[in-house]
Amino acid sequence: MKNKTVYIFLLLSLITQGIFAQAVFKTSVSKTKLGVNEHFRIVFSINKQGADNFTPPSFKNFKVLSGPNQSISQSWINGKVSFSQSYTYFVKPKAIGSYTISGATLEHRGKALTSNAVKITVLKAIKKPPNPNDPEYIAQQNVHLVAEISKSKPYVGEGIYVEYKLYVSQNISVKDFSVTETPQYNGFWNQDIKIHNLQIKNGKYNGENYRYVVLKKALLIPTKSGKLIIEPMKMNILIGVPTGRGDFFGNPITRNVTKIFSSPKRNINVKELPLKGKPENFTGAVGSFLFTVTASKNDLKANESSQIKVAVSGKGNLKLFEIPKIETPKELEIYTPEHKELIQTTLSGIRGTIYDLYTVVPEFKGKYKIPKVSFSYFNPKKKVYKTITTEDLFVNVLEGKEIAPTTNNTLKKDITITGSNFRYIQTKSTFKPVLEKDFFKSNLFYILLLLPLIAIPIGIVIYNKTAERNSDLIGVKQRKADRLAKKFLSEAKKQLGNKEAFYIALEKALHNYLKAKLQIETSDISRDKITNILQSRNVNETTITTFIDVLNDCDFARYTPITDVMMQAEYEKAIQVITEIDKQL
């Protein structure tokens, strides 16, 4: 009885769903923009059974290559029934222009339905590969790695951000991806913005519907003016490309294709800060700020401490300028300030507060003035310099030692005898014999006579050893390469244990070595170009790969935990690769 009730309930649910669900008749196309020499697919589909008398729209500006191809699909998953009846055409435009294809019509249970119209933009003919159905060509046309920047013409010190987005069209899928080369930000102070979860969103690319995901975000602050380049990010992407065929259940069959994608270079034209109105005390602050000088105690006793806080708060390049210093009377003992930062880095910039905290301990009673302090910054939105000047700050010492009064009277002192008033009188004499011993047959004479006889055999031995050492050409080249590697890596060795400074020095040493050895400028070329140059100089692939690996390690290691042992190993690896390159050139 119970089973019958369940079956009746399910049957009523299906009947109710079929009665009250609305029939939807729609038009969809594979692309809305295409070249005049391309074709596209247009599908008219309805989600309910019982449709009849299908009438296609007029394709007067298009040539029908095939169609209508009618198909019906139906499924029942978790108690839900889905149905689709579709009519598919493949058409090709006749001329360049913008055209609207009106909707098709059909009848469903005696009611006439019309699908939506679609707008097609036809552009000039594009260069097509020998086989437009090649999966690699399809993958290339439907996946795009782009770098989007917030501003292309900032001022020096003005923060901008860059986002790396991966756009994927609706009809293919991304199975896996990995970053093979991170972008370079030469000329920028930069900080990555953490992305906790990759979220797939819908958006537009070149006017067409795409899905996209934000892979990387970074805040950039230019440190010099002129044309700066954001180097591309490179990725390996595994893409599932539909073959146009389906399996037994009607699911599309895809073919996996692995391709390398690279974001385009982005040119940033950085403007110099204006000279007009530039204050003398300007130290490079760019943004919008507040400036304050406050004391934790204004009234205190001798040997009590008061803390004076000199703070800059707001939004801008808070990490790239110095806070103004305060001047205090000599009667106030002041300690070296403690610098603190309470800031947050987001795509909108660096926001928060930085401050120097001075500890002041007075010794004498009195009222002391800490003179006013000025702070200047440049506001890039208003394009003007602004100066903030604080009020004089007073510290009142209520109890303590009195300062001894000073006087201008000159006190007469008695002359005292020190015992050295007549030091110019010589009290000792040095006597020399009238007759001096001849140099001939003296000890020095015999030493100088025998010295060449002893030096000649020693010189011959040293010469033979040197000649034997120099005849070993491999050994000479090895020693010369080792000395050259240690010369360029000397600064990196000093920074062992200091992770960020070490990897900056290591990367700089590798670039300087190539610059000196090959007479090239490596700061403006990518790792691919470095690889090509080394290959042209007949450096073997293993050595080139090791050199590029060390450069990549310098980028990744700055943002990952690294031990001293790992840094030492990286240093030894750099010595080895420079030595190998020098021996092969």
At a CB cut-off of 8 Å and minimum separation 6, what does 202 contact?
209, 210, 211, 212
User: Using CA atoms, how far apart are residues 391 and 292, in angstroms rounded to an integer?
Assistant: 9
Residues above pLDDT 70, as percent of the chain: 81
Tokens of 57: 């729209």
In a domain, 111, yes or no: yes
Tokens of 371: 């003179």
pTM exceeds 0.85 for this model:
no
- Print pLDDT tens along the chain (585 aa): 445 555 555 555 554 444 445 788 889 888 888 888 888 889 998 888 878 888 899 888 899 888 788 888 777 766 677 788 888 998 999 999 999 999 999 888 888 888 899 999 998 887 766 666 777 788 888 889 999 998 899 999 999 989 999 999 877 888 888 888 888 889 999 888 888 888 888 888 877 788 899 989 999 999 999 999 999 999 888 888 876 665 555 566 778 888 888 898 999 999 999 999 999 999 999 999 999 999 888 888 777 888 899 999 999 999 888 899 988 887 778 888 889 999 888 877 899 999 999 988 887 788 888 899 999 999 999 999 999 999 988 888 887 666 655 544 444 444 444 444 444 455 666 666 655 666 667 777 778 778 887 888 888 888 777 777 666 655 555 566 566 667 777 777 777 777 778 888 888 887 777 777 776 665 556 777 788 888 888 888 888 888 888 888 777 776 666 777 778 888 888 888 888 887 777
User: Using CA atoms, how far apart are residues 544 and 547, in angstroms rounded to an integer?
Assistant: 5
Kindly list the distances between the CA atom of residue 81 and the CA atoms of 44, 72, 113, 147, 576, in Å, as whole numbers in the listed order. 20, 14, 22, 43, 67
Residues 140 and 76 in one domain: no
Residues 109 and 164 in one domain: no
- The single-letter code of the amino acid at 453 is L
User: Using CA atoms, how far apart are residues 353 and 534, in angstroms rounded to an integer?
Assistant: 48
Residues 230 and 156 in one domain: yes
- Cα angle 104, 106, 110 (rounded to 5 degrees) comes to 155
Residues 266 and 307 in one domain: no
Q: What pLDDT score was predicted for residue 413?
A: 44
Q: What pLDDT score was predicted for residue 227?
A: 93
In a domain, 417, yes or no: no
364, 397, 430 - which closes a domain? 397
Residues 113 and 186 in one domain: no
In a domain, 406, yes or no: no
Around 103, how many Cα atoms within 13 Å sit in the side-chain half-sphere? 14
Kindly list the distances between the CA atom of residue 481 and the CA atoms of 76, 163, 435, 489, 495, in Å, as whole numbers in the listed order. 73, 42, 62, 12, 22
Q: What pLDDT score was predicted for residue 172?
A: 82
Residues 94 and 203 in one domain: no
In a domain, 130, yes or no: no
Residues 164 and 115 in one domain: no
Residues 164 and 224 in one domain: yes
**CB-based burial label for 357 (10 Å; 0-12, 13-18, 19+):** middle
pLDDT tens-digit series, residues 253-282:
778 888 888 898 999 999 999 999 999 999
Beginning with the edge strand found earlier in the chain, give each strand of the sheet holding 97-101 in spatial order. 33-35, 118-123, 97-101
Q: What pLDDT score was predicted for residue 582?
A: 77
Residues 140 and 266 in one domain: yes
In a domain, 578, yes or no: yes
In a domain, 540, yes or no: yes
For residue 568, what is the domain's CATH number?
A: 1.20.120
H helix count then E strand count, the chain: 9, 30
pLDDT tens-digit series, residues 299-316:
887 778 888 999 999 999
Residues 77 and 160 in one domain: no
Around 408, how many Cα atoms within 13 Å sit in the side-chain half-sphere? 0
Neighbour count for residue 443 (Cβ, 10 Å):
7
What size, in residues, is the chain? 585
Residues 36 and 102 in one domain: yes
In a domain, 283, yes or no: no
70, 103, 123 - which closes a domain? 123
Preceding omega of 68 cis (within 30 degrees of 0): yes
Nearest to 45 by CA among 100, 116, 112: 116
In a domain, 90, yes or no: yes
pLDDT tens-digit series, residues 123-137:
888 776 666 677 778
Residues 44 and 105 in one domain: yes
The domain of 296 spans 288-397
User: Using CA atoms, how far apart are residues 306 and 301, in angstroms rounded to an integer?
Assistant: 10
User: Using CA atoms, how far apart are residues 346 and 194, in angstroms rounded to an integer?
Assistant: 9
381, 397, 413 - which closes a domain? 397
For residue 303, what is the domain's CATH number?
A: 2.60.40.740
Number of domains in the chain: 4
In 432-522, beta strands by DSSP E: none
User: Using CA atoms, how far apart are residues 190 and 217, in angstroms rounded to an integer?
Assistant: 10
Phi, psi of 102 (to 5 degrees): -70, 170
